[in-house]
A and B are shown apart, each in its own frame.
Chain A
Amino acid sequence: MNLVNPVSVRALLVRGMLAGLITGALALVTAYLLGEPHVDAAIAFEEAHSHDHGDGGVELVSRTMQATGGLATGILVYGVALGGIAALAFCVALGRIGRFGPRATAALVALGAFVAVFLVPFLKYPANPPAVGDPDTLDQRTALFFLMIALSVLLAVGAVILGRRLAPRLGNWHATVAAGAALVVAIGLAYAFLPAGGNVPEGFPATLLWEFRLASLAVELVLWTGFGLVFGELAERLLTPKEAPAGHKADPAAVTPAA
């Protein structure tokens, strides 16, 4: 059946942004509990070791506001925006990437987004706490970071299309493995040819850097796991109308003669 699904894109988009907001709140709690102590520790290191930051300490936003209202703004807007984009990706993926229902499609889209938007760029240009990264190289690092995200997303989309093309010849399993292998090789080449990332200042604690990056990974993991589950549930309810009345009618009929 190649009928076009009558469910509107708008309804899914609204649900995607709502799921992004809900899961953004979970990511916010994670960031506050796991991330903020490391941000504070890194700022303490920065202040103890800075040579040129003695300009009177003009503070536009207090640390308390940065760690609460500012952090909330950043993560919630990030969640809503990526929730909307992921919902659009779901609209395209649904019924086109194999025989998956709405919930499974949402989980796969969330997994793909986590890997393509966050994990692949992160492994090349990982998150850095304050004090790590030379301000003079910010332009270059920003350009490389966004280039890596764009490349990673394009390669992931390419791998999905390749997998669908190969499926009739190789079967679903081997087509998926082949497309995945092609994706890994392409990303490996991108890693090899793009310049290396930031520089860590002398004496910056290795444990702090490691724990900050783990916290960053945890925030994104919570965000995307939550998104996949919440959006999947909302999409399932929208796309699969309840068949409870029919089920209820059938059940007693089946049970009564047996009893």
Chain B
Amino acid sequence: MAQSAAPAPSTPAIPEVAPLSLKEIAPWAAFVGILMLVLLYFVGAEQGATSLIAGEDVHEWVHDGRHLLGFPCH
């Protein structure tokens, strides 16, 4: 390989990238993916149409972010 006579620029600019094993991704997607969706629920929807926690504190705290990120707020 090092003795190759071809000049460096002739090697392909974009080498093929090996994919990651789906089996390795699956558990991360299941646990962390769902955790992230729960976070998004609390930022985007909690104490709006549905409430897991009583009151209005979560809604009021993230109120401006909810509006600006496009979630229906009230």
Contacts and interface: CB of A to CB of B under 8 A. Distances in A.
B39 A9 contact: no
Contacts of B37: 81, 85
B61 A61 contact: yes
A94 B61 CA distance: 37
Contact of A142 (B18, B36, B45): B45
B60 A139 contact: no
Categorize the interface residue count of chain B.
35 or more
A144 to B, nearest CB: 8
A126 B68 CA distance: 10
B8 A142 contact: no
B36 A74 contact: no
Contacts of B18: 1-5, 95
Main secondary structure of the interface of B (DSSP, over half): helix
Interface in B1-43: 8, 14-22, 24-25, 28-29, 32-33, 35-37, 39-40, 42-43
Categorize the interface residue count of chain A.
35 or more
B65 A31 contact: yes
A191 interface: no
Given A4-B18, A10-B28, A127 B64 contact: no
Instruction: Give the 8 A-B residue pairs with the shortest CB-CB distance, closest first.
Output: A74-B65, A95-B19, A142-B49, A127-B70, A74-B62, A81-B36, A81-B39, A61-B60
Interface of A: 1-5, 7-10, 12-13, 31, 35-36, 39, 60-61, 65-67, 69-71, 73-75, 77-78, 80-82, 84-85, 88, 91-92, 94-96, 99-102, 104-105, 118, 121-122, 125-130, 133, 135, 138-139, 141-143, 145-146, 198, 212, 215-216, 219-220, 239, 250
Interface of B: 8, 14-22, 24-25, 28-29, 32-33, 35-37, 39-40, 42-45, 48-50, 55-57, 60-74
